Structure 1
Amino acid sequence: MASLTYQLLSVTVFLGAVQLISGYSFNNCIEDPYSDGQSFNCVRRKEKNMPAIINDLPPSAVSLNISTTPLWHIPNKSFVHLPNLQHLKIDNNHVRIIDQFAFQNLSQLKSLNLSFNNISELIPSVFKDLHNLTYLSLTNNTLKQLPEGIFSTLLNLDTLIMRQNFLTNFSGIAESVSHLTNLKKLDICFNNLTSLHHSNASLPESLTTLYICRNNLLTLGCKHSFLGFIQLLDLSYNPRLPTTAFQGVNLSHINYLRLRSTSVNVVEFLNISNVNAGHIDFSGMGLKNDNLLKELCKSLKRKVKRITKLGLGNNGIENLTKNSLSCCPNITVALDLSRNNLKSTSCLNFLNTQTLIKSFNAEHNHLTSLQSCKTQNMVYLKHLEELSYRYNRILSVSYYAFYNTPNIKTLKLNINTIAFLHRKALKGLKWLTTLRLDNNLLTDLFIDTFEDNVNLQILNLRNNRIAVIFNGTFLSLSKLTTLDLGGNKITYFQPSGLDGLKSLSKFYLDGNNLKQIDTSFYHVFQDTLTVLDLQSNQIRFLNAEIRSPFMNLSKLTDLKLDGQRPHGLTVLPRNFFHGLHSLKSLYLTNNNINYLAPDAFDDLTGLHFLTLDNCCVGVTQLHPGVFKNLKSLTKLIVENMGIQNISKEVFGNLTQLHTLQLNRNVMQSIDVDALETLPKLHYLDIRNIPLSCTCKNSLLQNWTVHNPHVQVVYLYNLRCPHDKKVNFYNFDTKVCYKDLGEYLFISTAVVIFLFTVTPLLHVKLYWKIKYGYYVFRSWFSEQWHRLREEEENCKYDAFISYNSSDEKWVMEELVPNLEGNESSFKLCLHHRDFELGRDIVDNIVSAVYSSRKTICVVSRNFLRSEWCSLEIQLASYRLFDEHRDILLLVFLEPISERQVSSYHRMRKVMLKKTYLQWPGSDCTNPTQAQELFWYHLRRAMRTGSRLNTEENYKSTVSLSSM
């Protein structure tokens, strides 16, 4: 109960202290945690209504992505509350209707992406407010035509993309963009255009890039100067476009022209066109054999003496001879023969007249092997720097396969089926810097495989079948910075298998069969290695006490240990990360660690990113201090760890934490104190957690709703576990605490009442209160029950209550007449019978309840005595509340009723019971009167103490007249 009271008070105080402003969690959007309130993603939501998606976004939004939703309508003024928006994506939805004023107030918008929707019609003025728009994409919609003036206000438009629609009227397109003086790129590929016919419209002079690929062009049909300023023109995949279509068309500014998969005859085209021959891509133009190639080359040579690039891809070429390109102008940079049917390159002998080439591309062909090129008749290509044989069917690479290209810097042999790489295959490639051998079938690397590649910097051997790294394999690669051995079958390294890698910075070993991390492997990397990827191996530790394998990796910044097979990393040894003071990122996801020691991460003082997603077995208890040294951590992912509780003892030292992902755990409550110890927290993900909608989480509810600094992801979609129809953010918490105003009103009212009433009580009822205190005290004394016995068990016949000034009369008159031989009553007197050392109140109570009667000897002094008043109070209490006739009043002197009236209980007794008046010396016959007085007193002493319930009379025995 005390705990609940404390919680209620805490809630009340917290509500009073916090300024009730809205936090910034959003119904259907997530703010990019590092965008400072400017970038929002509203992706994969089920909401169909645009206002419901974005109405709660702040006006600071600059970038907004709404994609993959069932949204079908963009109503008027949808974004009017987002005046600073510059980038808007509404792609991959079901939008088919956009209202006229949908984009009103977006005067700052620079890019708008409406691609992959169902837009079939646009209102002419829909874009009229977008004066600063530079990029517009309408790709993959169902537009058939453009309304007049659709782009009339987009004077800053730079890029317009309308691919994959059903546009048929090019004249309308040209008219709509003719006034866009800043337009540089227009993409209208994948439409139904049949010609470029236009009325009086002309393309803007600023337009340099025009894509009209994959239409149904039958002709160009444009004026001579219509394409005069175009630099990049793509007319590919217009299969019925004839050569004659270019008759009289000015293409003098073209820098790149694609005519792939058209009906254009290349030789005829070169004869009738003014395009620079060196700027044409001849890929996909049916140049299948030597004759056609020779004819092309002759035509080119008549136009130019040198050509920078020659693209001959996708022509179905099966074989090239020494004469194939002999008639061509000199190619100075690149030759592209990709996507042909070449089965052999014959050591590139067909380039005997093209020795100036720097780049050769033979990707996507049918090559099965690379033969040895150390022959007498080889063509020596000393200028060749880049060679690519990717996406072929190469099984083997012979010795000295690149002997005639010694200056290659980039060699791409990846994505083949190379099972045999001769140990001297790369011999002579001393200037090689990048080697791609990934995605092949290599099983062995030898000590002399890379012997000559002394300048190699990047070596990719990913996804092969290498099982062992032998001694000295990389001994010559002192300049290598990146080594990728991921996706192989490596089980171990021989002792000096990694020797020579003095400059290695990035080392990828993921997806192998390593069972342990040997510290001897990494002694060569102590001053260089920054990235180490060991994920998806078979690393396990049975002993928690091992020497750290990372002791010498003082420069390591990125370490991946996630997903160890088959059952994950189960034991995380003590001091496992010892020495990794520079580590920035650590990945431990998808393991089965059964215990995280409190000092597990103590050495990672520089860590910025830590992910423990799904890393542990079952329910995890994070021990206090487990993150105590991670004061630089900015992002922590602890998803699906079975965490039961969050406490400030665990998270209290994460003073720089910016992002915390807790989703898919099992805690039913989250301690707000723990969250408040994270001063830099900006992003909190608590989805899929069974947070109870009870008073236990009332503080958390208030914190999530009103915290202005922390974004709680999809807060308004979090449901209560007991009732999916109730939301966590607004479950009823009225039963958990009183309203602050009501609480303050009651407290203030009570205080004012006490300050007002206390002085009055002190003045008017001081003695009554004091008497009440004594009665209350008597009530709870242990004597209370003991003294309430039957009257035959009473110790005394009467207790005599008198003032000390009347003691002479009591001792000389009362005691002799009642305790004498004639009466033999036993009296209780203060000075004689009270127990020494006992509290006086207890003595009085004991005397009243141990006596059959209480005789009050009343005088003016008696009425002024505090203790006498208490004694008559106690006696009268017994009289009225226990219905016992035990009180006898004896007045020693005449006292008026006015004097007695202030003694309420005495006056009440006088109204109900008999009282005696002592006959003074002034009476007629004092002796006889006194004898009669003693007679009545003795008689009253002998009567029983039980009251007659019907008795209610006033009887005064006054003997003064006798």
Structure 2
Amino acid sequence: MATGERKLFHFVIYIHLLNISSFVVPVTGFALKTCRISYDVAICSNSKLRTVPQDIPSTVIGFDLSKNNISRVKVSDFTNLPVLTKLDLKLNRISQIDNGAFANLISLKKLNLNNNKLVELGEDLFHGLSNLTELRINSNHIKAVASTSFKPMTSLKFLDISRNKLQHITEVHLILQHLPHLKELSVKNNNLTTFHSWDLTNNSLELKSLDLSQNPIAIFSITADVFPNLTWLEIGNSSRKQQMIWDVRNKTFFSRVSILDISGLQMAFDDMKTLLETVNSSLTTLRMNSINHNLTALINISCTIPTMSTLQLRNKELKSVSSHMLKLCINVTELDLAESQINNIHVNAFRSVQSLRILNLRNNMLSSVPAATRNLPSLVELNLSSNKISKLGCDDFTNQTMLRELSLGGNEISALKECVFKDLIRLQVLKLQTNHISRLNGAFQKYLPNLRQLLLNGNSLTALKNEQFRGLQSLQNLSLHENQISELENGSFIGLTNLTEILLQINKITAEEINKGVFNDLINLKRLDFRENRIKYETSSALLHAPFSQLSRLEILAIPSQHRREKSHLPRNFLQGLTNLLVFNTRNIQLLSLHEDMFTYTPQLQTLDISSNELMDLSPGLFSSIPNLKSLYVSRTSLRSLDFLLHANLAKLEFLQARKNQYSVISEEIIKSVPALVYVDLQGNSFTCDCDNARFLQWVKNNNQTQIFDAYNFKCNYPASFEGKKLLELDVRLCSVDIEFICFISTTCTVLLFMVVSFTYHFLRWHLAYAYYLFLAMLFDTKHKNKQAPNQYDAFISYNTHDEPWVIRELLPKLEGEQGWRVCLHHRDFEPGKPIVDNITDAIYGSRKTICVISRRYLESEWCSREIQVASFRLFDEQKDVLILVFLEEIPTSQLSPYYGIRRLLKKQTYLSWPRAGEHTQLFWEKLRQALKTREHLGEDSLLRSAVERP
């Protein structure tokens, strides 16, 4: 069958199948309906799911079902995930969890049920979770907890049940009594109104962190040492105006607490003082945010605690820092005054805090760098970001020789001065992002010898001058993205010999600028990002000087999505010198082609992104130099096929993204050409729904190595009647040829045929012979009956050569000599050179009668059998008396049985017997003469009976 005919045949079959059935073959591989697998984690988030998908491989260790519409968790949802360790169900609508729904998750360690609609926790809700160590169930509507809800979770160490509607400490008691190894507990923002230690007695707790904040607790009473290991306590309440009563009978009950958060706590000053005295011997970190009354007094009390080193005072009411506010905080090393409204800091505000190492003034109203910071010789980290600073002076950082990190991002600075950072000899991180800086004015040419990270992104720089960063010999990371840079002078990066990363995306850099060789000074550079610039080349011809020829250590190069939407090329030697390049991203730069020699300079390349271009076809030779490629992105490139993979030698390719192209058929050879593939994304392509994709469909459904993302949504675009149908709904079983089945059928048929033939030959060979000759006679009669000539002879004598003496001595003299008949003998009258069969037929049809001289030899003769068959067929067909049987010897009826045709003739036809004639031969010859004289019509009584008749 020709190829076109075969396709038409299968097309008709598909039409028929789609009209009569909607059967879908279930997927057993990694073609998941709504999810994808990434590093053994099933990611199904934000997929509008209403139920838990059941096609997740049993080998996953993580399952992300967050941000869906699941309302119920059923017993059957997680029955086959024996190695799952993390389950995320947050941000759904779960209001019901069946008892035992998690019973099969024997390896689960982390469970997240945050932001759902649970109202109560039932008796067997967590049955089977004996290995669970972390449970998050905040932001639900939980009002009640069954007495044994938490009993199965004997390994639980972290529990967050905050932002619910628990009202009584007894619910907390029910939780704690079954969790002897719990380390962290958060019941933040519930409706607890009292907290009494007697409700928690008889518990041997290992609890180290307890968060009771944002509860309307009126009485906090501890009369027993129920938290002997507690080191972190949060008890603030910013939403309650009524004061809390603090009743802790023994100051040693919280003697181990090192981190205390009382933000927003409303409490009488004496109780607050007592509270602070309770942690006097262990406190290291105190958070007193949003406390508006007696703040200075509380600060002075807390600062007398000798162990306290970290103080957080975030307060929207705090507008200034006076000289005496921190007077007693001589041991504080970290001070956090962020997110306040501070616009003024007294010059002596920090004079007492000489040990201060970290100062956070982020998100305030400061218009300049506070002079008070100059009196902090031990300061290591200073955060002044998100203020209103517009200028930096040469004295702003005087004496800050120990400073390691300085944050000035999000201010209104427009220019720098050469001297501004002169004293920051140990500075390692400088953040100046999101300002209005347009001029650097040599600020980085002399100073900052130890700077490693410089953020200048989001400013108004337009050009980088010669030796602009000469003083930054230790710099490793430079961020210049989101500026207006269009000019790069030669020597712009001189001195940056240790730079490993430079970000230049979203600027106005052109090809002409990078062709200057300005990057050749960055000999240790590993990452270079040019996204969203104006790099464009007219041809793929080689450049005289490759722009990155000296960057042999570069590992990541990105030049995607240029501003101008004009068609472009890349010079064939654009990547020359990048012998260690691992990642090359040239997405969406309107490329028309890639020269076959493009990657000959990058033998180590592992990730290539050429998506969103107009390449249409890719030469297999393009990939011959990058055999280590593991990830390939070729989406939206107008590719008409993936045939380039056949000869690309990508044996190590693991990830392929080829969305929204123009190919419709993926052959078996293409699949085999990428044996290491573990993830492929072909989303948005329109496939041909015929047998050309049969192997691809079988692979999608049955492979257990490669995950085919979104395979359930692959659609057909050809033939027209299939348009819009899902590819995986097609049954391609008729497209495949099962060689083994065909061999089985063929062998079986051959054996059966052999048996039938053997049986027939053994038992029915004579009947078959008769049927064969009868058929030949029919053919001969059909051939000759319409051209019958006048009878040439009176009789044709049919005999066996062994009976020839009787015919010559007895029969012939009587018939021709005495009676005068004209007879035909084969040895005398047959035409020489004429086929024997034709001679026989002509003799029989050219004679009025046929005389068959029958003997045992006659019955065994092939030619005699043919002669009598032709004569008998003439008898049956013409209904004329044309046959005379003469038996030369007695033949029993039993011996005639195999000769079914002769036996049947004997029952209907008279015959003559020579042995019966005996001595009365005259009567025999008379009977024969009369038989030759009779009329031919059988309807008349024309045959004379012989003297002896056989039954």
Q: Shorter-chain TM-score: what band?
A: 0.7 to 0.9
Matched, 1:108 2:131: yes
The alpha carbon displacement at 1:501 in A equals 0.4
Check whether the contact 1:142–1:166 (CA below 8 A) recurs between aligned residues. Answer: yes
Q: Percent identity?
A: 26
Letter in 2 for 1:63: K
Q: Map Cα deviations across residues 485-508 of structure 1 (whole Å, 9 max, x no partner).
A: 112221232513213101100111
For residues 65-121 of structure 1, give each alpha carbon's deviation from its aligned partner in whole angstroms, at most 9, with x where no partner exists: 234443321110102222222222233443345432121111111222223434333
Aligned to 2:355: 331
Residue 677 of structure 2: aligned partner? 657
1:78 to 101, 107, 117: 101
The answer to whether the 8 Å contact 1:605/1:632 transfers is: yes
* Matching residue's letter, 1:611: Y
Matched, 1:34 2:64: no
Residue 461 of structure 2: SS of its match in structure 1? Answer: coil
Aligned pairs for 1:222-621 within 5 A: 222-223=247-248, 224-238=251-265, 240-241=266-267, 243-249=269-275, 250-252=278-280, 253-273=282-302, 275-276=305-306, 278-284=309-315, 286-289=317-320, 292-300=321-329, 304=330, 306-320=331-345, 322-326=347-351, 328-345=352-369, 349-373=371-395, 379-424=398-443, 427-492=446-511, 493-494=513-514, 495-516=516-537, 520-537=545-562, 547-564=572-589, 568-612=590-634, 614-617=635-638, 620-621=640-641
Change (3 A) 1:178 1:310: farther
User: How far did residue 219 of structure 1 move?
Assistant: 3.2
Q: Do 2:30 and 2:704's aligned partners in 1 also have CA atoms closer than 8 Å? A: no
Q: Residues 680-699 of structure 1, C-alpha deviation per residue, up to 9 Å, x if partnerless?
A: 824233435446899x9xxx
Report the 3-state secondary structure (helix = DSSP H, G, I; strand = E; otherwise coil) of the residue aligned with 1:340. Answer: coil
Name the CA distance, whole Å, in 2 between partners of 1:797 and 1:67. 112
Aligned 8 A contact 2:681 2:709 in 1:
yes
Q: 1:754 deviation in Å?
A: 5.7
Separation in structure 2 between the aligned mates of residue 337 and residue 150 of structure 1, nearest angstrom:
40
1: CA distance between counterparts of 2:419 and 2:842? Answer: 124
Amino acid at match of 2:536: K
1:332, 1:356 within 8 Å by CA — same for their partners in 2?
A: yes
Q: 1:666 aligns with which of 663, 683, 686?
A: 686
Q: How does 1:136-175 map to 2 (within 5 A)?
A: 136-145=159-168, 147=171, 148-163=173-188, 165-171=189-195, 175=199
Deviation at 1:786, TM superposition (A): 3.1
Q: Counterpart of 1:956?
A: 945
Deviation at 1:325, TM superposition (A): 2.7
AA at the equivalent of 2:294: N
SS for the counterpart of 2:64 is strand
| Residue in 2 that maps onto 1:939 | 934
Distance in 2, Cα, partners of 1:139 & 1:847: 117
Seen in structure 2, the aligned counterparts of structure 1 residues 133 and 863 have a Cα distance that, compared at 3 Å, is same
Shift of 1:166: 2.8
User: TM-score under structure 1 normalisation?
Assistant: 0.82
**Counterpart Cα distance in 2 of 1:467 and 1:340:** 34
Give the SS at the match of 2:803. Answer: helix
| Distance in 2, Cα, partners of 1:882 & 1:213 | 124
Hey, what's the Cα distance between the residues in 2 that align with 1:92 and 1:896?
106
CA shift for structure 1 position 861: 2.1
Which residue identity is paired with 1:418?
I
Matched residue SS, 1:150: helix
* Corresponding pairs, count: 893
Distance of 2:698 and 2:29 partners within structure 1: 18
- Distance in 2, matches of 1:795 and 1:78, equals 105
Query: Are the aligned partners of 1:410 and 1:435 in contact in 2 as well (CA < 8 Å)?
Result: yes
Residue type at the aligned position of 1:34: D
Matched residue of 1:483: which SS?
Answer: strand
User: 1:715-754 counterparts in 2 under 5 A?
Assistant: none
Using the alignment, how far apart are the partners of 2:842 and 2:157 within structure 1? 103
Unaligned runs of 5+ in 2: 14-25, 42-58
Instruction: Check 1:307–1:43 CA distance in 2 against 1; reply closer, same or farther (3 A cut).
Output: closer
Question: What is aligned with 1:702?
Answer: none
Aligned-pair RMSD on alpha carbons? Answer: 4.4
Is 1:205 aligned with 2:228?
Answer: yes
**How big is the shift at 1:410?**
0.9
Distance (whole Å) between structure 2 residues aligned to residue 497 and residue 232 of structure 1? 52
Structure 2 counterpart SS, 1:294: coil
TM-fit CA distance, 1:745: 11
Shift of 1:469: 2.0
Q: Does structure 1 conserve the Cα–Cα contact (< 8 Å) formed by 2:317 and 2:340? A: yes
* Deviation of the 1:531 alpha carbon: 0.8
Contact 1:553 1:579 in 2 (8 A): yes
Map 1:38-77 to 2 at 5 A: 38-51=61-74, 54-77=77-100
Q: Distance in 1 between matches of 2:547 and 2:134?
A: 49
Per-residue CA deviations over 1:515-558 (Å, capped at 9, x if unaligned) read: 13986454344420001112212699979895242232110111
Q: CA deviation at 1:859?
A: 1.9
Preserved contact between residue 434 and residue 459 of structure 2 (Cα < 8 Å):
yes
Deviation at 1:632, TM superposition (A): 1.1
CA contact (8 A) 1:111 1:133 kept: yes
Secondary structure of the corresponding residue to residue 369 of structure 1: coil
- On the 8 A contact 1:83/1:107 being kept in 2, the answer is yes
Counterpart for residue 20 of structure 2: none
> Which residue of 620, 641, 648 corresponds with 2:668?
648
C-alpha separation between the residues in 2 aligned to 1:795 and 1:439? 122
Structure 1 distance, partners of 2:164, 2:387, is: 35
Q: Distance in 2 between matches of 1:911 and 1:97?
A: 103
Matched residue of 2:584: which SS?
A: strand
Question: Is the contact between residue 29 and residue 41 of structure 1 (CA under 8 Å) also seen in structure 2?
Answer: no
What's the secondary structure of 1:149's corresponding residue? helix
User: Is the Cα contact below 8 Å between 1:541 and 1:570 reproduced in 2?
Assistant: no
How many angstroms apart in 1 are the aligned matches of 2:826 and 2:671?
A: 75
**Contact 1:620–1:641, Cα closer than 8 Å, also in 2:** yes
1:885-906, CA deviations, whole angstroms, 9 ceiling, x for partnerless residues? 5543232344454543442211
> The residue matched to 1:523 in structure 2 has which SS?
coil
In structure 2, the CA distance between the partners of 1:549 and 1:429, relative to structure 1 (3 Å rule), is same
1:761 matched to 2:765: no
What's the counterpart of residue 706 of structure 1? Answer: none
User: Quick check: 1:872 aligned with 2:868?
Assistant: yes
Question: What is the rounded CA distance, in whole Å, between the counterparts of 2:594 and 2:792 in structure 1?
Answer: 83
Is the contact made by 2:168 and 2:194 (CA closer than 8 Å) also made in structure 1? no
CA contact (8 A) 1:29 1:53 kept: no
- Is 167-176 or 671-680 further displaced after alignment? 671-680
> How has the CA–CA distance of structure 1 residues 825 and 227 changed in structure 2, closer, same or farther, with 3 Å as cutoff?
farther
Aligned partners of 2:877 and 2:795: how far apart in 1?
19
Distance in 2 separating the partners of 1:881 and 1:93: 96
Look up the match of 1:802: 799
Aligned partner of residue 499 in structure 1, secondary structure: helix
Quick one: structure 1 residues 737 and 621, their matched pair in 2 at CA, closer, same or farther if it must change by over 3 Å?
A: closer
Q: What's the CA shift for 1:197?
A: 0.8
Q: Could you say what secondary structure the match of 2:597 adopts?
A: coil
**Equivalent pair of 2:259/2:283 in contact (CA under 8 Å):** yes
Higher mean alpha-carbon deviation, 68-77 vs 93-102, is at: 93-102
Going from structure 1 to structure 2, the CA distance change for 1:880 and 1:739 (only over 3 Å counts) comes to farther
Asked if 1 retains the 8 angstrom alpha-carbon contact of 2:712 and 2:728, the reply is no
